[in-house]
Amino acid sequence: MAKDVAVIGVGQTSFVRGYEGSIRELAFEAFREATQDAGITQKDIAASIFCSAPEYDKQRSPAGVLAEYLGLIPQPTFYIETVCSSSSSGLKVAYSMIKAGLHDVVAVVGFQKMSEITSAESQERMGRGADIQWEAPFGTMMPAYYALYAQAYMAKNGLTHDDLRDVRIKSGTYGQTNERAVYRKGVKASDFDPSNPDARMAGAVAWPLRVGDACANADGASCVILANAEKAKAFSKKPVWVLGIGAASEAVNMAARPDFAKGLSVGYGAAAEAYKMAGITAKDVKVAEVHDCFTIAEIMAYEGLGFAPMGDGKQLIREKATYKEGRIPVNVDGGLLSKGHPIGATGGSQIRTIVLQLRDEAGPMQVPGSPEIGLVHNVGGVGLYGNVTIFGR
């Protein structure tokens, strides 16, 4: 486990609906928190990387605009996009730059103001991250794609609607304790009961997925500051090291997907690469953030990451193994399902959670036992891109 590149600062805005400011002000909030966390100023940062999904940005070429507002000129700045995993990809690029010796300290800023456009427009544009030539003409949208996986998975592996509901209940348990989450109410089984007139989550969206199976759009920004070993030791009392990075991609078209009942292939591919680089196995991971844009995605992630054998992810939620006190705590900050999913900011938010966990600074969300190794699993599109990053103290 090489300790060459470390996270020395993390920041995140509250994830909200209808942020009352511009994207520059949004990004500034997360960046300011991360620099204060690292105890550095702009002059210590050699380069910056901005990450978002451009379909929501009215500003073109946002990296330069935001770098100026954050006081990061004249240092070089770059823009990275892999839809929902943009800021995890940004971290990989920052890591590479530092390892190559090009820059010693790099800030990765993820942002998305999804409320720049209406919720309906947002749904439509998110769908453009899928195949617009061969699939959008049928009337596809994101929930429908994940529902294709859910249907095949449930048919083969005995996963039930109650299991999916229980993933959302777990998310709600922790979402209540996360002051930065957009959805902070607890979730009850009756919220999914169609015979209950007040059920908020029971309505079908793309069957077998219901309202409660989906995360919410939100505005937000995140910031992760990385440094080489020398700078990390100089600046930080509690550096959190990047131990392993894995990434994979998959065919955009559903007609070219290998096996829907197996889940997203990028989850398996990215995890294998990250574990190999870190020199660890799934058993060594003590806390994880996984990409739960839909409840089914969390179950599939359990298996891709090796927390459960293939087809058996349901056991983890049935046995509460992924609760804070369980064998492998997952998404104990509420995950995307409770925090909301500001596309470009999401990966950075997941990384922040794991960094705080490894520093024993996660407050009410802290996993007991001072975890030493944590993992972030961040997927772009419907498994079009996959990123797995492993961190350690």
Partner 1 sequence: MGFEKFGRKSFTAMTKVSKFVDLLEEGKVEGSVCKQCGAKYFPPRADCAACMSKDMDWFEMPKSGKLETFTTAYYAPFGFEKDCPYIMGVADLGGIKLFARLAGDIKPEDAKVGMDIMIRPLKYDDGQMSFEIAKA
Instruction: Answer yes or no: 341 catalytic.
Output: yes
Q: Does 205 bind partner 1 (CB under 8 A)?
A: yes
| Region for 45 from its dihedrals, namely left if φ exceeds 0, alpha if ψ lies in -120 to 50, beta otherwise | beta
> CA-based Rg of the chain, rounded to a whole angstrom?
19
Q: Does 290 bind partner 1 (CB under 8 A)?
A: no
Q: Does 134 bind partner 1 (CB under 8 A)?
A: yes
Q: Does 204 bind partner 1 (CB under 8 A)?
A: yes
Parallel/antiparallel/unpaired status of strands 47-51 and 105-113:
parallel
Give the residues across from 110 on adjacent strands. 51, 222
Q: Does 192 bind partner 1 (CB under 8 A)?
A: no
Q: Does 160 bind partner 1 (CB under 8 A)?
A: no
Q: How far is the CB of 55 from partner 1 (least distance, A)?
A: 13
User: 42 or 151: whose CB is closer to partner 1?
Assistant: 151
User: 59 or 151: whose CB is closer to partner 1?
Assistant: 151
| Region for 104 from its dihedrals, namely left if φ exceeds 0, alpha if ψ lies in -120 to 50, beta otherwise | alpha
User: 262 or 377: whose CB is closer to partner 1?
Assistant: 262
Q: Exactly one of 51, 84, 223, 293 is catalytic; which is it?
A: 84
Q: Are 45 and 105 in contact (CB under 8 A)?
A: yes
Using the CB atoms, write b or e for 149-179: b if 16+ within 10 Å.
bbbbbbeebebebebbbbbbbbbbbbbbbbe
In this chain, which stretch among 217-225, 254-262, 323-331, 360-368 interacts with partner 1, using CB under 8 A?
254-262
317: CB partners within 8 A, 6+ apart: 163, 166, 167, 170, 299
| Region for 251 from its dihedrals, namely left if φ exceeds 0, alpha if ψ lies in -120 to 50, beta otherwise | beta
In this chain, which stretch among 138-146, 162-170, 315-323, 351-359 interacts with partner 1, using CB under 8 A?
138-146
Q: Which two tokens stand for residue 106?
A: 């790099």
Largest CA distance in the chain: 61
User: 28 or 149: whose CB is closer to partner 1?
Assistant: 149
Instruction: Answer yes or no: 161 catalytic.
Output: no
Q: How far is the CB of 122 from partner 1 (least distance, A)?
A: 11
Q: How far is the CB of 158 from partner 1 (least distance, A)?
A: 13
User: 155 or 234: whose CB is closer to partner 1?
Assistant: 155
Q: Does 101 bind partner 1 (CB under 8 A)?
A: no
Instruction: Give the binding-site size for partner 1 (rule: CB under 8 A).
Output: 39
Comparing CA positions, the residue from 203, 174, 204 lying closest to residue 187 is 174
Which residues are designated catalytic?
84, 341
Residues at the contact surface with partner 1, assessed by CB under 8 A: 120, 123-124, 127-128, 132-141, 143-144, 147-152, 155-156, 203-209, 253-257, 260-261
